[in-house]
Amino acid sequence: MEQAASDARHLLDDIGARMARAQRRFGPPPAAVELVAVSKTFTANEIEPFLAAGQRVFGENRVQEAKDKWPALRASYPGVQVHLIGPLQTNKAREAVSLFDCIQTLDRDKLAVVLKTEMARAGRMLPCFVQVNIGGEAQKSGLVPAEAVDFVARCRQVHGLEIVGLMCIPPDGQPPGPYFAHLAVLGQAAGVSGLSMGMSADFETAIAMGATQVRVGSALFGSRG
């Protein structure tokens, strides 16, 4: 474990240095950029070296996978935050509210209503990001950009949720910069300060466009099988 934690620390330091360089290079940066280590599909044993190395914010795609891994890991490592970064079905909302510390994939009124009900029942008000389908792709979840600002307002004023930011995944095979810039404009219009955008291949570009969170998986954990 000691060697694995040392290796994990080296990877985290490398990503952190790249994030810092991107912040310095591209104009006035956000006050801070948070690294969300995307641990989906990786086992507790593969995650633990990164916990031992000091990483505390992680992203998971599925409720059941998080339920299988994180309660035991949390018991051993205080201060962990786990964000849901995959699509959420309404019938999984109760478990999601109990398991996660942030929901990054809020994208419809029905889900907003159910999340508010489950948060009230559990006595936990989780911060949420609204997912925007920034490239208008049929195969991806998220609101079309033209609906994002009104939806944020509705989630706050009608549904009573804490909306802290917007989240997106740009289209594969296209320069991501314009899509990140578009999300930043939408974030300003919606009155949110958080922008969750950028992954292993493009997080430096995302930081240049104002990301406050980057979601990095393969650059830390390696390729998924």
Residue range 7-17, pLDDT digits in tens? 999 999 999 99
Write the CATH number of the domain with boundaries 2-221. Answer: 3.20.20.10
pLDDT above 80 (res 225): no
d(CA 193, CA 100): 21
The pLDDT score that the predictor gives to residue 28 is: 59
How does residue 223 score in pLDDT terms, banded at 50, 70 and 90?
Answer: confident
Return the H-helix or E-strand segment holding 162.
strand 162-168
What pLDDT is recorded for position 1?
78
Question: pLDDT (tens digit, 9 = 90+) per residue, 148-197?
Answer: 999 999 999 999 999 999 999 999 999 999 999 999 999 999 999 999 99
Contact 224, 41 (CB under 8 A): yes
How far apart are the C-alpha atoms of 111 and 91, rounded to whole Å? Answer: 9
Is the pLDDT assigned to residue 224 strictly greater than 90?
A: no
What is the rounded average pLDDT of the residues 202-209? 94
pLDDT at 25: 72
Q: Is the pLDDT of residue 71 over 80?
A: yes
Q: What is the pTM of this model?
A: 0.94
- Whole-number pLDDT of residue 21: 87
Looking at residue 32, its pLDDT comes to 83
Share above pLDDT 90 across residues of the chain, in percent, rounded to a whole number: 91
Confidence of residue 2 (pLDDT cuts 50, 70, 90): confident
CA dist 67 and 135 (Å) reads 31
- DSSP states along 40-92: TT--HHHHHHHHHTT--EEEES-HHHHHHHHHHHHHHSTT-EEEE-S---GGG
Name the percent of the chain lying above pLDDT 70. 97
Could you give the angle at which helices 63-76 and 44-52 cross, rounded to 10 degrees?
Answer: 40
Can you give the pLDDT at residue 40?
95
pLDDT tens digits for range 40-49: 999 999 999 9
CA distance 68 to 207: 32
Q: Is the pLDDT of residue 29 over 60?
A: no
Q: Residue 22's pLDDT band (boundaries 50, 70, 90)? A: confident
